[in-house]
């Protein structure tokens, strides 16, 4: 798997992105690149067990969602935040079971 050209860290509870040693603002391109990396990692890193790969990729996708939210300005504008969370809340079921938890949505609500 080809790692992204940038590094994401979670210093002091905030996402920080560094490219070529310089801190840069989160962008839509960063989230797209991280999503592509997660998909590639899930498909091609067969050295790890499937559950390990799924867990790692869910983490990458949660970070990608947070980067996308920050790039959209959801951390600064309540209307943008609510619209983004509404769009993000799309369970993979036609009829959502009563027990369904959306861990990504819970994570994103706390982070932005």
The pLDDT tens digits along the chain (112 residues) read 789 999 999 877 789 999 999 999 999 999 999 999 999 999 998 888 999 999 999 999 999 999 999 999 999 999 999 999 999 988 888 898 888 888 788 888 888 8
Rounded distance, CA 111 to CA 103, Å? 12
Domain that holds residue 54: 6-111
Say if residues 32 and 10 touch (Cβ distance below 8 Å). no
104: in domain: yes
CB 91 within 8 A of CB 99: no
Structural domain includes residue 1: no
Q: Give the count of domains, the chain.
A: 1
Q: The pTM is what? A: 0.87
Please count the residues of the chain: 112
């Amino acid at each position: 798997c080809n790692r992204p050209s940038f590094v994401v860290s979670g210093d002091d509870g905030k996402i920080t992105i560094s490219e070529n040693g310089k801190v840069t603002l989160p962008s839509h391109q960063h989230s797209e690149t991280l999503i592509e990396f997660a998909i590639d990692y899930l498909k091609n890193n067969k050295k790890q067990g499937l559950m390990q790969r799924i867990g790692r990729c869910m983490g990458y996708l949660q970070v990608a969602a947070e980067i996308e939210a920050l790039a959209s300005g959801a951390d600064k504008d309540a209307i943008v935040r609510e619209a983004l969370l509404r769009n993000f809340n799309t369970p993979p079921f036609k009829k959502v079971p009563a027990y369904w938890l959306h861990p990504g949505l819970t994570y994103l609500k706390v982070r932005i």
